[in-house]
Structure 1
Amino acid sequence: MSGTTRSSAGLDVRRRQILYRSWHRGMREMDLIMGRFADAEIGELSEDDLAEFERLIEVTDRDLLGWITGEIETPQNYDTPLFRRLKAFHTHTAPIHT
């Protein structure tokens, strides 16, 4: 599914790939969480943030969703400033309707 509201025009190849992967994770809820965050933040992420976001994209949907919702404790090596931004973004955006 692609619910992106952001054009990839003007983004470098890496950012376009991250944006695409954010909206095509497999689990609709995670598409919406990661995709909405990417739509809002992709143009402003630093190189370090991009690397961390790519690392988060590799986490399984079930684990990442559990960490974001607080159902599963976030492993220390993933409890980064970028992850906390993603979690806060999800908490403060409109509810997800699937």
Structure 2
Amino acid sequence: MNEADERELSRLRWRCRRGMRELDRLFERYLDRAWREAPTVEREVFLRLLDIEDDRLWHWFMGHETPSDAELDTLVQRIRSLPPAG
């Protein structure tokens, strides 16, 4: 990764800090395991995901609700499927 990508990743880590530790961990997992290789389109969807309120995100990630936007739903499912750090 180049220096600009590293700065962007650092900025995103700060932006991923939410009011819920569980969401923080899900977003960090995505940044650590998938963001670097993600295509531009997926990165843009991730930025949209960060604009969603925590309560709604929590319901999506827990599977209680499904985003009406197919791109958001696909990314939520992708993040949910990433294995936890171990």
Fold in common (TM above 0.5): yes
**Corresponding residue pairs, total:** 83
> Aligned Cα RMSD in Å?
2.4
Task: Provide TM-score, normalisation by structure 2.
Answer: 0.76
The question of whether the paired residues in 1 share the 8 Å contact of 2:9 and 2:31 is answered with: no
Among candidates 4, 11, 20, match of residue 27 of structure 1: 20
Structure 1: how far apart are the matches of 2:38 and 2:10? Answer: 13
SS at match of 2:28: helix
Identity over aligned residues, as a percent? Answer: 32
Structure 2: how far apart are the matches of 1:14 and 1:69? Answer: 28
Gap runs ≥5 in structure 1: 1-7
Q: Which has the higher contact order (CA 8 A, sep 6+)?
A: 2
SS at match of 1:62: helix
Gap runs ≥5 in structure 2: none
Query: What is the identity, as a one-letter code, of the residue corresponding to 1:16?
Result: S
Residue 68 (structure 2) pairs with residue 93 (structure 1): no
Structure 2: how far apart are the matches of 1:41 and 1:32? Answer: 14
Task: Provide TM-score, normalisation by structure 1.
Answer: 0.69
